[in-house]
Amino acid sequence: MIDIENRFKGWLKGQGPKPPLGTWLMAAAPATAEAMGYSGFDFLVVDMEHVPIEVSDLAHILRAIGCTPADAVVRLAWNDQVLVKRVLDAGAQTIMLPFVQTAEEARQAVSFAKYPPEGVRGVAAVHRGSRFGRAADYLKRANDQIAVIVQLETPEAIERLPEIAAVPGIDALFVGPGDLAAAMGHIGNIAHADVQALIERAARIAQEAGKPVGIVGPNPDMVRRFIGYGYSYVAVASDIAMMTSRASEWLGALRGDAAPAPVAPAAAY
């Protein structure tokens, strides 16, 4: 039997690394995705929201990640029925939907990701998700194996966290620190005390609701802070951020420049 088990969904339930550590993929390149997958990260976020990645590109990136020990999380451009269907058919198993504001929007996200009777996902016999039809039990198992993560990116969404978390089929939450800071009037500054206080509060509310919650930080120090707040899974920076910061560091050393500025704590994805 061809395996379609979603390891990351098990990790969200505590059946794996604690906490799972990942990074963002902004390069839109299979080679970079594969290299990062061999670098020790537990998961890699393929960003289709802010990166020019189309579904055809996604399939190649997922193939590259699939060669490595890492798992893929696909962040879609929007909570859209057609986009969800196409991304799942391309082989994604864990999807993240941005800017979910209400429980109703969360219910829509779940319905888009599930086959009837639990949802409205369209049925096709042969696609990459079903291993091109070779996973004979795919249609029966897919609803249980797909993981749905919704992003909370405003103070209003954080306030509604308990009701969003209670929606059946929502496997985890994710706090978007960059958009949260912007919505709070502190665009570009996730380190602001008010933003940090709400980020910490979100983790506490999620724990009380019994729902895993993730976040991304620009550097290890910020990520350690988020883990201390109680976040269940955390990403650090991105492939591009790591590459450019290392390049600046080495060029500074060769040219005798002053120590390069660190990646700004505002950097979030």
Residue 50 annotated to the active site: yes
Arithmetic mean of pLDDT, 217-232: 98
pLDDT digits (tens, 9 = 90+) for 181-203: 999 999 999 999 999 999 999 99
* Catalytic option among 50, 60, 127, 192: 50
Q: What mean pLDDT is predicted for residues 51-78? A: 98
Per-chain mean pLDDT for the chain: 95
Integer angstrom CA distances of residue 81 from 31, 157, 229 = 29, 21, 33
Closest CA to 11 of 233, 217, 165: 233
pLDDT for 31 equals 98
What length does the chain have?
269
Tell me which residue of 149, 141, 139 sits closest to 169, measured CA to CA: 149
Q: Which amino acid is at 149?
A: I
Beta partners for 174? 151, 214
Of all residues in the chain, the percent with pLDDT exceeding 90 is: 93
Res 94: pLDDT: 98
β-strand partners of 217: 236
Token pair of 134 as six digits: 């070779």
Q: Which pTM does this prediction carry?
A: 0.95
Asked if pLDDT for residue 245 goes beyond 70, the answer is: yes
Task: Please write the tens of the pLDDT for every residue from 41-57.
Answer: 999 999 999 999 999 99
Q: What's the pLDDT score for residue 257?
A: 76
Structure-token match 């951020």, residue found: 241
What whole-number distance in Å separates Cα of residue 254 and Cα of residue 230?
A: 40
Q: What confidence category does residue 266 fall into, taking pLDDT thresholds of 50, 70 and 90?
A: very low
CB neighbourhood size of 4 (10 A): 18
Structure confidence at residue 115 as a pLDDT band (50, 70, 90):
very high
pLDDT above 70 (res 215): yes
Backbone angles phi, psi at 213, to 5 degrees: -140, 135
Q: Give the model's pLDDT for residue 66.
A: 98
Q: Nearest-5° angle of CA 221, CA 75, CA 81?
A: 155
Range of weakest confidence among 7-21, 188-202, 250-264: 250-264
